[in-house]
Amino acid sequence: MSAPHRQNLARRLRAVLARHRLLDGVEGLLVGFSGGADSTALLLLLADAGPRLTAIHLHHGLRGAEADADAEWCRRFCAERNLPFELHHLHVPERRRPRESLEAAARRCRIEFWQGRAGPHDAVALGHHADDCLEELLLRLARGANTSGLTALRPRRTVAGVRFIRPLLDFRRAEIEACLREYGVRDWRTDRTNRDPAHRRNAVRHRWLPPIRRTLGGDAPLLAALAALRDDADCLEQAAAAALDGLPARDHLATLHPALLPRVLRLWLSARLGRDVVPSRDAVERLRRELVRPDCGVRKIPLGNGVNLIAGGREIGLETASPAEVVWRWRDDARRELPGSGAVLSAACVPAPKAAALRAAGPDTVFFAEAALPAELTVRVWRPGDRMIPFGHHRPRPIKDLFSQAAIPRWRRPEFPLVVAGGAVIWVAGLRRAAFAGISPGVRRAVRLRLETQPRARPHTSS
């Protein structure tokens, strides 16, 4: 039986995968599978194309029995075709933050899930198509987005360290549904809220786009404009990545073109905090004003979620809300992410290093005698009054003095985690260690602690 739509889409999909090199270096392909027409077609087309894949259904906990039915349909669909399947519950309502919209909470929970599930050589395939791109274009245009925002749906994009690919962006909704029918699938899942005009995206789909198409004789001009905007955004984002090396110098920021400032700031914030951070227009404008003022002291620019951008002195900085104390059982948890900072502490048992290796270790790496290091440590931020016996000394000194000696301003001090053993500070991570549990000539085994201030998440890139 002839299947022209299926054959046409399969051929075009292979061309898209090759043209954008979407699977280069990919060892595991995770397919976001909602059960809707677009994700179902993507799953079947990719399965036919040959890469090893896993279908993943995310249950947001928002639509009750209807969402449960979607999850069961997806499970059964994959079981019937012998496709690997995973169901994960995100519990969005329970994890929603104060003053966070439900849509924003769902997006954050999805990103956090993919960060934990996707490995360094995995890609996440999503089923967005050309009609989604047009709806997104109009929605973001109404919000005042720049070209990067207007073209947020790209064939390949790395966000918060996760590689997302969207192979169907050149495909139309109608041909995707025709392809599914040729696969023998006619019962894909439909979210009944997709018809509710109270949701902005539905209003764009059902009320905005039809008259535009009637007026223009179709939407080909919009798609052509979208392609040009993608090229513009790619060019600006490449320039922003090249300009990132000059941060956090205030003078460097002040010389940036207005189109580059928000993009450079986004890359820098995302790298520092370990998650994709899009600074608001108000925050960018406030920073722009501060950059042209004479240095008159430290000024805070709120970025939300307890994070402030610090504009003052020769460099910009970040101030984050102090997290609660973190208990670190380093033998069981060799890598400990520190909430809100984007930093990671790691531990490894190693042979005791020689004196030369100890001298070569920078402030981000320390070695303690394994036998003397408790299995449970506490990690927290600096507090006024904290003291430590620095390595090479015999009396405690205020940690405030160590910061001052290193010319670290007060607003930057929360960036340096304190590692505490039995109530005593043994390491100001990134600055100085204590005399505690040193590597003496008789010590044979050591524990290496390391602070990684650049998180696993890579800056956001796209193509």
Q: What share of the chain is helix, strand, coil (3-state, %, to 5)?
A: 40, 20, 35
For 184, residues 6+ apart whose C-beta sits below 8 A from its C-beta are none
- Segment 293-297 shows an average pLDDT of 68
Q: Are residues 252 and 189 in the same domain?
A: no
Helix (H, G, I), strand (E, B) or coil at 16: helix
Q: Are residues 156 and 278 in the same domain?
A: no
DSSP letters of 142-200? Answer: HHT--HHHHT---SEEEETTEEEE-TTTT--HHHHHHHHHHTT-------GGGG-TTSH
Confidence check: pLDDT of 32 > 60: yes
Residue type, 288: R
Q: Are residues 200 and 262 in the same domain?
A: no
Q: Are residues 55 and 29 in the same domain?
A: yes
> Among 320, 352, 386, where does a domain finish?
320
What is the predicted pLDDT for the residue at 122? Answer: 94
Domain-embedded: residue 460: no
What is the predicted pLDDT for the residue at 428? Answer: 94
Q: Are residues 101 and 215 in the same domain?
A: yes
Distance CA 107, CA 101 (A): 10
Six-digit token pair at 185? Answer: 């699938």
Distance CA 364, CA 359 (A): 13
- Strands 53-59, 85-89: parallel, antiparallel or unpaired by DSSP? parallel
In the chain, pLDDT over 90 holds for what percent of residues?
52
In the chain, pLDDT over 70 holds for what percent of residues?
94
Helix (H) / strand (E) containing 451: strand 445-452
Six-digit token pair at 121? Answer: 């050589």
What is the predicted pLDDT for the residue at 340? Answer: 58
- Segment 69-95 shows an average pLDDT of 94
What is the predicted pLDDT for the residue at 264? Answer: 94
Query: What order of strands is seen across the sheet that includes strand 156-159?
Result: 85-89, 53-59, 28-32, 122-125, 162-165, 156-159, 461-462
- Would you put residue 274 in left (φ > 0), alpha (ψ -120 to 50) or beta? left
> Among 170, 193, 225, where does a domain finish?
225
Confidence check: pLDDT of 456 > 50: no
Distance CA 413, CA 89 (A): 37
Q: Are 128 and 423 in contact (CB under 8 A)?
A: no
Domain-embedded: residue 43: yes
- Segment 169-186 shows an average pLDDT of 94
Q: Are 53 and 84 in contact (CB under 8 A)?
A: yes
Confidence check: pLDDT of 455 > 50: no
Report pLDDT digits (tens) over 126-165.
999 999 999 999 999 998 899 999 999 999 998 878 899 9
Most confident of 57-61, 298-302, 343-347: 57-61
Q: Are 316 and 253 in contact (CB under 8 A)?
A: yes
Q: Are residues 405 and 266 in the same domain?
A: no
Residues in the chain: 463
Domain-embedded: residue 67: yes
Confidence check: pLDDT of 342 > 90: no
Dihedral Cα 52, 58, 64, 70, nearest 10 deg: -20
Distance CA 335, CA 255 (A): 39
Q: Are residues 289 and 157 in the same domain?
A: no
Phi, psi of 274 (to 5 degrees): 75, 20
> Exposure pattern of 44-58 as b/e (b: 16+ CB <10 Å)?
bbbbeeebebbbbbb
What is the predicted pLDDT for the residue at 297? Answer: 63
Domain hosting 36: range is: 3-225
- Segment 48-59 shows an average pLDDT of 92
Domain-embedded: residue 284: yes
Q: Are residues 212 and 271 in the same domain?
A: no
What is the predicted pLDDT for the residue at 37? Answer: 96
Six-digit token pair at 137? Answer: 């274009």
- Picking from 134, 170, 165, the residue whose alpha carbon sits closest to that of residue 11 is 170
For 16, residues 6+ apart whose C-beta sits below 8 A from its C-beta are 22, 155, 167, 169, 170
Q: Are residues 149 and 18 in the same domain?
A: yes
Q: Are residues 45 and 124 in the same domain?
A: yes
292 strand-pairing partners: none
- Picking from 208, 229, 226, the residue whose alpha carbon sits closest to that of residue 170 is 226
For the chain, report the end-to-end CA distance as a whole number of angstroms: 38
Q: Are residues 301 and 356 in the same domain?
A: no
Domain count, the chain: 3
The pLDDT confidence band at residue 1, using thresholds 50, 70 and 90, is very low
Q: Are residues 217 and 293 in the same domain?
A: no
Residue type, 116: G
Domain-embedded: residue 237: no
Helices (H), 293-383: 355-360
| Averaged confidence pLDDT in the chain | 87
Least confident range of 226-240, 257-271, 282-296: 282-296
123 strand-pairing partners: 29
Least confident range of 39-48, 110-119, 309-318: 309-318
What is the predicted pLDDT for the residue at 88? Answer: 93
